Amino acid sequence: MLRPIAAISGIYDAAVGLFLLLAADRLADLFGVPPAQPRVFSDLNAIFLLAVGTGYYFPWRDPQGARWYLWVMGPVLKGAGALTFLIDYFVRHSPPSFLLFAFSDGLLALLTLWALVASRSTRGSPQR
């Protein structure tokens, strides 16, 4: 399960990063918020997402060797991102459309956590 999760997470982050880099104004309109000012803030977020998405190549290629990347970018980063979107929604009253990111990041964080834990328990099982 680690390889497909790495592929899905990499594509997800790279797609959002590309959309943010190439169409930040449209993305802001889609979510009902003003574009970032200055624009460099959305550009930096896009570059970050593209780098994270590119990094998923390594666990896709070698899931066991790059488990650390899946831990950091999955349960830790995506989990923190989901929590941040939820807190922002309830505390700062961000648009309900932000809950889409809370859901998608949270789902990927939980799926990654599940796959990491499950693969650890099967990795130590004796082969028959």
* 12-to-53, 90, 100, 121 alpha-carbon distances in Å: 7, 25, 13, 27
d(CA 30, CA 18): 15
Structure token digits, residue 45: 């977020």
Taking residue 113's Cβ as centre, other Cβ atoms within 10 Å add up to: 18
Compute CA distances 26 → 5, 6, 19, 31, 33, whole Å. Answer: 28, 27, 9, 9, 10
pLDDT digits (tens, 9 = 90+) for 82-125: 999 999 999 999 999 999 999 999 999 999 999 999 998 666 55
pLDDT in tens, 1-60: 999 999 999 999 999 999 999 999 999 999 989 999 999 999 999 999 999 999 999 999
Q: Give residue 127's pLDDT band: very low, low, confident or very high (50, 70, 90).
A: very low
